[in-house]
């Protein structure tokens, strides 16, 4: 029962990540658009992992590749939030720059969680293992978004 609840929670986080993405990007420009595009890339990879878990059709190579993409994107997050880049359609909260060290640590936690999946041996990736990795990734996203993201639109 706990595993089922954890899986449902992880899937809910993943599907919530993509909500409103196209609206938010509509008028974004410059660094704000760059980071929104990066976050959309992360959400797309998360959704591909979630779909594997949901369907039970796990492609271990694709899961590892998604983990690698997320890790690469996560390594860029902090650099896409220079001081003062909150204008326009940004979903960033001022708390990012008030506590940039914590924000950067949360981005690093996402990178580490994603790298864990990318480094998992192919023969060790089954639905249950992937669900655990998804839960870790979703938790890393959620821990940052709770404090540092405001939904618009």
What span, in angstroms and rounded, lies between the C-alpha atoms of 85 and 92? Answer: 9
Q: What is the pLDDT of residue 50?
A: 98
CA distance 57 to 124: 15
The pLDDT assigned to 89 comes to 77
For each of the domains in the chain, give its residue range(s) and CATH number, in order of start.
2-148 (1.20.120.10)
3-state class (DSSP) for residue 57: coil
What is the block-wise mean pLDDT of the chain (153 residues), using blocks of 10 residues? 51 50 67 95 98 98 99 98 86 96 98 98 98 98 96 72
Residue 5 has a pLDDT of 46
Q: Is 25 annotated as a binding residue?
A: no
145 known ligand binder: yes
CB 89 within 8 A of CB 27: yes
Q: What pLDDT does 140 receive?
A: 98
Rounded CA-CA distance 50/89 in Å is: 28
Could you tell me if 151 and 84 are in contact, meaning their C-beta atoms sit under 8 angstroms apart? no
pLDDT at position 27:
78
Please check if 8 is assigned to a binding site: no
Identify whether the C-beta of residue 13 lies closer than 8 Å to the C-beta of residue 142.
Answer: yes
């Amino acid at each position: 029962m706990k595993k089922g609840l954890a899986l449902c929670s992880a899937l809910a986080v993943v599907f919530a990540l993509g909500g409103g993405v196209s609206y938010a990007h509509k008028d974004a420009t410059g660094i704000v658009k760059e980071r929104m595009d990066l976050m959309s890339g992360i959400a797309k990879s998360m959704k591909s992992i979630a779909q594997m878990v949901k369907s039970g059709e796990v492609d271990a190579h694709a899961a590892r590749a998604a983990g690698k993409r997320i890790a690469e994107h996560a390594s860029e997050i902090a650099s896409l939030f220079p001081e003062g880049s909150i204008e326009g359609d940004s979903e960033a909260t001022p708390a990012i720059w008030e506590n940039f060290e914590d924000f950067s640590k949360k981005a690093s936690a996402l990178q580490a969680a994603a790298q864990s999946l990318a480094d998992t041996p192919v023969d060790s990736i089954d639905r249950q293992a992937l669900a655990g990795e998804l839960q870790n990734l979703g938790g890393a996203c959620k821990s940052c978004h709770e404090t540092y993201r405001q939904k618009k639109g």
